[in-house]
């Protein structure tokens, strides 16, 4: 990461207009992840920096939502740990959280489940996004579902990325912990790199707001 991507704490407060009190309160409530606080030594001593794009997006999100939700609700929504949401098949269909194609793919792969845990919905949601974007076909969706189901829990709520790679028509996918760098031989092509925590946030907002009803 080079310096252009970082923003100092001072600049952040200036741009967003928030105060130190607010920033520390949000940190305390885990609205801003610990790993975004990057300490560096400058000529004035230690300074704290943040990844610019991420922190600005997060602060704007908090500022826009803090009137409607309490800080604890917000924290729950923004934390990468899965919430305790359980939905039935009908509810998922009705609330149009994922497309029917991906839902059927999940049921075909793992059999029908009475209730879908947050994680299961997350897996379907990830595959759904990729299918809709045209990055993968159904067969590949199945591989991703299986990979996620088998391995995602091993990250224990830690932030991770899903990588989908293709070479000469042969495709594979894997999970790596977030921020780590991976390099491939030149023939391989990274079709998609998804940050699971980002997806979780999206999904949580969708679940909380209800999603658009299915026509």
Partner 1 sequence: MSSENLNDLIGSGVGDSAGGKYRNVIISGVMGVKGDVECTDFKCSGVSKVDGSIKADSILVSGVNNVNGDIKCKELTVEGSLNVAHGVSAEKVQIYGVFKVNDDLNSEIFISRGGFTINGLLNAENIDIRLFVKCKVREIGGQSINVCRDNTNSIKFFEKILETFSMPQRLIVDTVEGDDIYIEYTNAKIVRGKNVKIGPGSNIDIVEYKDKFEKDDNANVKEFKKI
Query: Near partner 1 by CB under 8 A, which window of 24-32, 68-76, 89-97, 166-174?
Result: 24-32
Give min distance, CB of 12 to partner 1, in A: 12
Among 44, 64, 156, 186, binds partner 1 (CB under 8 A): 44
Give min distance, CB of 153 to partner 1, in A: 22
Give min distance, CB of 14 to partner 1, in A: 8
Left if phi > 0, otherwise alpha if psi is -120 to 50, otherwise beta: which for 157?
Answer: left
Among 2, 3, 4, 21, binds partner 1 (CB under 8 A): 21
Please tell me the distance from the alpha carbon of residue 173 to that of residue 140, in angstroms, as a whole number. 9
Does residue number 66 form part of the binding site for partner 1 (CB under 8 A)?
A: no
Q: Decide whether 19 or 137 has the Cβ nearer to partner 1.
A: 19
Among 1, 5, 15, 28, binds partner 1 (CB under 8 A): 28
Give min distance, CB of 43 to partner 1, in A: 11
Please tell me the distance from the alpha carbon of residue 180 to that of residue 99, in angstroms, as a whole number. 31
Among 2, 3, 20, 183, binds partner 1 (CB under 8 A): 20
Does residue number 43 form part of the binding site for partner 1 (CB under 8 A)?
A: no
Query: Near partner 1 by CB under 8 A, which window of 38-46, 102-110, 134-142, 170-178?
Result: 38-46
Q: Decide whether 27 or 95 has the Cβ nearer to partner 1.
A: 27
Please tell me the distance from the alpha carbon of residue 36 to that of residue 197, in angstroms, as a whole number. 14
Does residue number 41 form part of the binding site for partner 1 (CB under 8 A)?
A: no
Among 27, 54, 66, 94, binds partner 1 (CB under 8 A): 27
Does residue number 19 form part of the binding site for partner 1 (CB under 8 A)?
A: yes
Token pair 């293709």: residue: 166
User: Which residues of this chain interact with partner 1, rule CB under 8 A?
Assistant: 9-10, 14, 19-21, 23-25, 27-28, 44-46
């Amino acid at each position: 990461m080079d310096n252009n991507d970082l923003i100092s704490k001072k600049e952040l407060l200036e741009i967003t207009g928030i105060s130190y009190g607010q920033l520390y309160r949000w940190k305390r409530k885990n609205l801003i992840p610990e790993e975004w606080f990057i300490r560096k030594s400058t000529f004035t001593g230690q300074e704290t920096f943040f990844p610019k794009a991420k922190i600005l997006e997060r602060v704007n999100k908090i500022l826009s939502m803090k009137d409607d939700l309490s800080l604890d609700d917000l924290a729950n929504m923004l934390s990468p740990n899965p919430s305790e949401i359980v939905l039935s098949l009908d509810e998922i269909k009705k609330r149009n959280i994922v497309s029917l194609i991906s839902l059927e793919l999940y049921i075909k792969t793992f059999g029908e489940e009475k209730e879908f845990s947050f994680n299961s919905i997350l897996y379907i949601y990830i595959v759904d996004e990729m299918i809709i974007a045209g990055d993968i076909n159904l067969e590949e969706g199945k591989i991703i579902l299986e990979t996620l189901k088998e391995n995602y829990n091993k990250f224990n709520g830690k932030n991770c990325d899903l990588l989908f790679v293709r070479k000469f028509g042969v495709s594979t996918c894997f999970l790596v912990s977030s921020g780590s760098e991976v390099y491939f031989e030149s023939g391989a092509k990274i079709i998609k790199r998804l940050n699971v925590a980002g997806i979780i946030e999206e999904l949580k907002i969708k679940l909380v707001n209800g999603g658009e009803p299915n026509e």
